[in-house]
């Protein structure tokens, strides 16, 4: 009998800074390379999978906690037909910055990227599983859930410490290319227009853009459209309206691309 991966999503209007997801059987869950606007942290609860993070790729197994800063390209996928399961949390980076700077005067510093891409910390793993259980518990009010979230991310900060990431060398022209895509992603975006905005040749732009963002300009464009679609779905917009607004050819095209990026259909993701 074919296996149908059924993702479970959790959201609470009283806790808008956090979203959760669970997959109990990931054998048919396949992600394309993608990134999020938020901070992501997850735990492999059984089995093992591949874990692509920017330019690295490795095998991770039950007990591993994975972490992705906003904008970092990643994907986790099954190994042949081996069962695996996981939970994920998606957290607003500005909210998390408040946790990071709660004991200093760095309120204006903003979110500090986490250096670790994964860890085998048993405390973090157990804490993440416990937080997920509390978040999805319908018997709990928002207050204890919020307290549990604060406690867990304080534990994460103590365990992983401050970032030791080296600052990336930023090419301002490539940044301008990304800004152009961000400003025009809902319409037709042509490579010539991006090059003109960035004052770069096509060959240089494609090479430099992929070096900086770990995506081609086209992949970045599609990823940006999917990020927008997620926000619209959470706000209750219709799938057909989002498909039209976000620049997809039709609803079927939107459905295919959305599932490729998030291993869930828009209908499964929609509240």
Domain locations in the chain as residue ranges = 8-160, 172-269
How many other C-beta atoms can be found within 10 angstroms of the C-beta atom of residue 73? 19
pLDDT grade, residue 103 (50/70/90)? low
Q: Is the fold of 8-160 the same as that of 172-269?
A: no
Q: What angle do CA 127, 10, 213 make, to 5 degrees?
A: 80
**Is 109 a residue whose pLDDT tops 80?**
no
Task: Return the structure tokens found at 222.
Answer: 């599609």
DSSP 3-state assignment of 113?
coil
Please provide the average confidence, as pLDDT, over all residues in the chain. 90
CATH superfamily of 172-269: Homeodomain-like (1.10.10.60)
Quick one: pLDDT at residue 69?
95
- Distance (Å, whole) CA 39 – CA 4: 28
**Residue 34: DSSP 8-state:** B
pLDDT of 3 over the 50 cut: no
The answer to whether residue 169 scores a pLDDT higher than 80 is no
State the pLDDT at residue 13: 93
Coil/strand/helix, residue 8 = strand
Q: Is the pLDDT of residue 195 over 70?
A: yes
Residue 1: band (very low, low, confident or very high) from pLDDT cuts 50, 70, 90: very low
Tell me the pLDDT tens digit for each residue of 116-161: 999 999 999 999 999 999 999 999 999 999 999 999 999 999 899 7
| Averaged pLDDT for residues 253-268 | 92
Percent of the chain with pLDDT over 70: 93
Share of the chain above pLDDT 90, in %: 75
Identify which of 27-36, 102-111, 218-227 has the greatest average pLDDT: 218-227
The CATH class given to the 8-160 domain equals mainly beta
Query: Per-residue pLDDT tens for 68-99?
Result: 999 999 999 999 989 999 999 999 999 999 88
Q: Is the torsion defined by CA of 178, 182, 185, 188 positive or negative? A: negative
Separation between Cα atoms, residue 124 and residue 72, nearest integer Å? 21
Distance CA 148, CA 153 (A): 9
**Range in 51-65, 97-111, 206-220 with the lowest mean pLDDT:** 97-111
pLDDT of 4 reads 47
């Amino acid at each position: 009998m074919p296996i149908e991966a059924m993702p479970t999503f959790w959201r609470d209007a009283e806790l808008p800074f956090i979203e959760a997801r669970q997959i109990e059987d990931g054998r048919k869950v396949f992600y394309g390379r993608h990134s999020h606007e938020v901070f992501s942290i997850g735990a492999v609860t059984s089995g093992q999978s591949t874990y692509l993070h920017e330019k690295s790729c490795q095998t991770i197994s039950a007990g591993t906690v994975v972490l992705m800063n906003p904008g970092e390209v990643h994907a986790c996928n099954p190994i042949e037909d081996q069962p695996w399961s996981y939970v994920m949390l998606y957290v607003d980076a500005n909210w998390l910055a408040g946790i990071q700077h709660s004991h200093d005067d760095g309120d204006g510093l903003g979110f500090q990227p986490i250096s670790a891409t994964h860890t085998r910390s048993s405390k973090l793993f157990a804490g993440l599983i416990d937080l997920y259980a509390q978040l999805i518990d319908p018997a709990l009010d928002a207050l204890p859930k919020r307290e549990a979230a604060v406690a867990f991310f304080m534990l994460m900060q103590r365990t992983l410490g401050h970032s030791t990431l080296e600052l990336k060398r930023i090419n301002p022209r490539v940044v301008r290319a990304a800004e152009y895509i961000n400003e025009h992603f809902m319409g037709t975006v042509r490579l010539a227009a991006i090059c003109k905005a960035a004052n770069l040749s096509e060959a240089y732009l494609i090479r430099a853009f992929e070096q900086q963002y770990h995506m081609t300009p086209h992949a970045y464009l599609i990823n940006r459209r999917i990020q927008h679609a997620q926000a619209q779905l959470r706000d209750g917009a219709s799938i057909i309206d989002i498909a039209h607004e976000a620049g997809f050819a039709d609803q079927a095209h939107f459905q295919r691309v959305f599932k490729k990026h998030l291993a869930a259909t828009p209908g499964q993701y929609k509240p």
